[in-house]
Amino acid sequence: MKKIPSGIKQLALVAALTFSFSTPALAETEIQWWHAMGGVNGERVDKIAKDFNATQKEFKVVPTNKGNYTETMTAAVAAYRAKKQPHIVQVFEVGTATMMAAKGAIYPVEDVMKDSGVAFDKADYLPAVISYYQKTDGTLLSMPFNSSTPVMWYNKDAFKKAGIEKAPETWDDVEAYSKKLQASGMKCGLSFGWQSWVMIENFNAWHNLPTGTKENGFAGFDTELNFNNDAVVEMMTKIGEWQKSKIFDYGGRRGDSLPKFVNQECGMWINSSAYYGSIKKQAKFEFGQTMLPYNQKIIDKPQNSIIGGATLWTLRGHDKGDYKGVALFMKYLSSPEVQSWWHQETGYVPITTAAYELSKKNGFYDKNPGTDTAIKQLSLNTPTPNSRGVRFGNFVQVRDVINEEMEAIWNGSKSAKDAMAEAVKRGNKLVRKFEKANK
């Protein structure tokens, strides 16, 4: 065998030693986070993960967009069955019952924190935000992240031109203001999005009316929808009439009607507080936000609105050590600095009292009047069984049914009474199907 020169041996030894010292002894453990945030909010999610990763070297959170809310939840369920699930998945509020029914798959975030030895105190969180995601024993199932509630957005410049001096408070105001806006040259007075959430779920909560039995499903899956009350039917009938004269103008589900507001076709728009960032970027006029309108014939003063948006659920099936990384990330995500920044950038509600107070201290609400409307709405009164929220099985599909029936009212093919009765009938079939599958 040919002898290796001593000089080459020394170089090889130096290279080996250099490699051993420059390479971490322990590679970062990846924590997979599947989410439904696209566009600018997707970039903000990436920033949160990147900033967390920079705080330590043991874990690396990897965010991945999986489409819209429904697509993200569906992908996570399929991945769990294939044993390829992420550690964390973002699920919108109407998916709560579905996630709760996924036996063995869910690792309640409160347990994750406790088992990992990471400090966690529910008293730090806004009650109106976390109550939606708690079990009957108070255990927090998932970590609130992008929490919102619908508010009334209005065009201050258009109001001034039309001679309107204050924000609307009642539905009578909305009708009167719409007519004034149209008289001043606007095409329509009002539009709204996420209509089941806004005009069924929140309308009922705002007026302290039930959307279903069993405390809107919180007291058990054996619940039934009953939102076709006289108040809802009367409201739907009125809006159906408004559609004919463009006092109201339908613009589609979700946020499809946003252009009607930012392009100044409609002077008022009801949708999530989380559209703050989009409206601020797109609107070429002074805008404001105020609380939802109410019907003074039903209730003297509004009750409280209910939460929307999504939370972060932890899925089981990973190495025990991974969950320490999940817990540390949840703690970072809940910090006043991160939550205050997220709230101010997006319009989502800060999930902790400390983040709310920090935003106040920084003068955010003084500089941006109305941006605390969502927080005030959610905390207006102690939630009742009618206003805590909704927790129905198969509610993603139920919302599709409600949307279809509401659209039948807007296009004049059904009366409000018939459409709401049919929505309840069809919806209850889906609720029963879910209940039977999860007994």
Sheet with 188-192, strands from edge to edge, namely 188-192, 266-272, 150-155, 287-290
The structural domain count of the chain equals 2
Contact 274, 160 (CB under 8 A): no
Please tell me the predicted confidence (pLDDT) of residue 2.
Answer: 40
SS3 sequence of 319-369: CCCHHHHHHHHHHHHCCHHHHHHHHHHHCCECCEHHHHHHHHHCCHHHHCC
CB 402 within 8 A of CB 200: yes
Sign of the torsion formed by the C-alpha atoms of 89, 93, 99 and 100: positive
Residue type, 291: M
Q: What is the pLDDT of residue 367?
A: 95
Record the pTM.
Answer: 0.89
Claim to verify: residue 267 and residue 406 sit in the same structural domain: yes
Stated as kind and residue range, the H or E segment containing 169 is: none
How confident is the model at residue 439, as a pLDDT? 81
Residue 110 makes CB contacts below 8 A (sequence gap 6+) with 120, 122, 139, 140, 141
The answer to whether residues 270 and 312 belong to one domain is no
Is 380 a member of any domain?
no
Bridge partners, residue 30, by sequence = 60
Q: Kindly list the distances between the CA atom of residue 235 and the CA atoms of 167, 309, 339, in Å, as whole numbers in the listed order.
A: 20, 25, 36
Whether 289 and 162 share a structural domain: yes
Q: pLDDT per position in the chain (439 positions), as tens?
A: 444 444 444 434 444 434 444 444 457 999 999 999 999 999 999 999 999 999 999 999 999 999 999 999 999 999 999 999 999 999 999 999 999 998 899 999 999 999 999 999 999 999 888 888 998 889 999 999 999 999 999 999 999 999 999 999 999 999 999 999 999 999 999 999 999 999 999 999 999 999 999 999 999 999 999 999 999 999 999 999 999 999 999 999 999 999 999 999 999 999 999 999 999 999 999 999 999 999 999 999 999 999 999 999 999 999 999 999 999 999 999 999 999 999 999 999 999 999 999 999 999 999 999 999 999 999 999 999 999 999 999 999 999 999 999 999 999 999 999 999 999 999 999 999 999 999 8
Give a yes or no: residue 387 inside a domain.
no
pLDDT of residue 26: 55
Determine how many CB atoms are found less than 10 A away from the CB of residue 27.
Answer: 10
Residues 139 and 253 in one domain: no
**Is there a domain that residue 375 lies in?**
no
In a domain, 383, yes or no: no
Q: CA 190, CA 436: separation in Å to the nearest integer? A: 41
In eight-state DSSP terms, residue 32 is E
- Whether 45 maps to a domain, the answer reads yes
Judge contact between 434 and 396, C-beta under 8 A.
Answer: no
Same domain membership, residue 239 and residue 136: no
Q: Does residue 232 contact residue 204 with C-beta atoms inside 8 Å? A: yes
pLDDT score for 24: 45
CA 127/CA 122 separation, integer angstroms = 9
The boundaries of the domain holding residue 116 are 29-148+308-367
Q: Check whether residue 298 and residue 319 sit in a common domain.
A: no
Identity of the residue numbered 396: V
3-state secondary structure 269-286: EEEEHHHHHHHHHHCCCC
Q: Which of 176, 2, 95 is nearest to 397 (CA)?
A: 95
Q: Distance between terminal CA atoms of the chain?
A: 75
Flag whether 274 is in a domain.
yes
**Distance between alpha carbon 228 and the CA centroid of its chain, in Å?**
25
| Residues 418, 327 share a domain | no
Beta strands in 36-104 (DSSP E): 59-65, 88-92
100 inside domain: yes
- Using alpha carbons, select from 105, 198, 197 the residue that is nearest to residue 395: 197
In one-letter notation, the amino acid at residue 330 is M
Q: Which H or E run contains 314?
A: strand 308-314
Structure tokens at 205: 């909560």
Q: How far is 303 from 305, CA to CA, in rounded Å?
A: 7
* pLDDT in the model for residue 103: 82
Q: Please identify which residue in the block is written with the tokens 């919180």.
A: 218
Last residue of a domain, one of 349, 367, 385: 367
- Asked if residue 198 belongs to a domain, the reply is yes
DSSP string, 6-56: HHHHHHHHHHHHHHHHHS-SSPPEEEEEEE---HHHHHHHHHHHHHHHTT-
**285 and 160 assigned to the same domain:** yes
Residue 220 shares a structural domain with residue 177:
yes
Domain at 268, CATH number = 3.40.190.10
- 312 and 292: one domain? no
Query: Are 356 and 254 found together in one domain?
Result: no
Q: Do 144 and 190 share a domain, yes or no? A: no
Q: Is 316 exposed, middle or buried (0-12, 13-18, 19+ CB in 10 A)?
A: middle
Question: Is the Cβ–Cβ distance between 369 and 351 less than 8 Å?
Answer: no
Q: Which of 284, 197, 243 is closest to 251 using CA atoms?
A: 243
Give the span between the Cα atoms of 85 and 42, in whole angstroms.
Answer: 20
CB atoms within 10 A of CB 23: 8
**pLDDT computed for residue 128 by the predictor:** 84
Residues in the chain: 439
Q: Please list the residues that pair with 299 across neighbouring strands.
A: none
Residue 147 near residue 92, CB atoms below 8 Å: no
pLDDT at residue 5 in the model: 46
For residue 17, what pLDDT is reported? 39
